[in-house]
Amino acid sequence: MTTTPSPSVLVPDDLLRLMELVRRSDSIELKLTVPASAYRPAAKALGIDPLTAQIRQVFFFDTPDLALNRTGVVVRARRIQGRDGDSTVKLRPIEPAEVSEKVRASRQFSIEVDAMPGGYVCSGSMKSVVGPAAVLASVNGERPVHKLFSKEQRHFYDAHAPEGLAMDDLSVLGPILVLKLKIPPAEFSRRLVVEMWIYPDGSRVVEVSTKCLPGQGLDVAREARRFLESRGIPVGGEQQTKTKTALEFFASELTESSA
């Protein structure tokens, strides 16, 4: 039986904060990291065919001590099988109310709330389409890194990166090999995305996600939880973020090689 809170019951501050962020966002992405012990059962339960996966290469750009990451800035470029790649300058967490009107009006900029068991973060991303040859040229040192990013992206970067740290001074962190599948489960109302990030040491992070509009978040989260639990996929446990894992892996590698 569902009860309605009386007017004297206060909504927790954290929930109010989340509701405010969602209200000012363009979308919500619900994410779940699958524990390593559940990879094979989850793949079978979701009917995943690895031969249909799209192959991607993901490169990050930061300093060996992750100076950008410490200020919440993520700089990334991707090569994508069968299509153009992309580049992104992301800031997280971001305060939507503090984003300038000019940035907010850009068609290349979006605000999204990433929600996962135990937490959430609001981020702002400025994106651009780039050719796959351009990504390779920059990561191989044949072309300046800043050439991967549009004028809008460079301005966004300059506004939030540590002072004096130019894009062309950043180290290449990567690549990460990514397998991405989009699956339309028959018993779920929307598309699920499964990504496996494979690191050079053989370790993996597998993430299941789905996106929705801000007003749909709670309903979709409940439906997704019921669906995954019905397939025997754990929805709790420690969550491992793909980007953080990648940055720490390659930063450690750079530090060891320079020692």
Give per-residue pLDDT as tens, 52-83: 999 999 999 999 999 999 999 999 999 999 99
Structure confidence at residue 254 (pLDDT) = 85
Q: What angle do CA 92, 96, 97 make, to 5 degrees?
A: 140
| Amino acid in the structure at residue 32 | L
Q: Which two tokens stand for residue 143?
A: 């072309």
Structure confidence at residue 237 (pLDDT) = 73
Q: Which two tokens stand for residue 97?
A: 């109310």
Task: Look at 12-16, 25-29, 30-34, 186-190 and tell me which has the smallest mean pLDDT.
Answer: 12-16
Strands 27-34 and 204-212: antiparallel
Mean pLDDT of 149-159: 97
- pLDDT of 9 > 70? The answer is no
Structure confidence at residue 91 (pLDDT) = 98
- Write out the H or E segment, with its range, that includes residue 57: strand 54-62
The answer to whether the CB of 206 falls within 8 A of the CB of 239 is no
This prediction has a pTM of 0.90
66 versus 17: which is more confidently predicted? Answer: 66
Average pLDDT value for the chain: 91
- pLDDT of 5 > 60? The answer is no
The full set of domains in the chain, from first to last, is 23-258 (2.40.320.10)
For the chain, what percent of residues have pLDDT higher than 90? 78
**For 11, phi and psi rounded to 5 degrees?**
-75, 130
Distances (CA, A) of 31 to 113, 212, 220, 259: 10, 12, 12, 37
| Amino acid in the structure at residue 34 | V
* Res. 259 pLDDT band, cuts 50 70 90: low
Structure confidence at residue 33 (pLDDT) = 94
* Res. 155 pLDDT band, cuts 50 70 90: very high
Structure confidence at residue 176 (pLDDT) = 96
Structure confidence at residue 111 (pLDDT) = 98
- pLDDT of 3 > 60? The answer is no
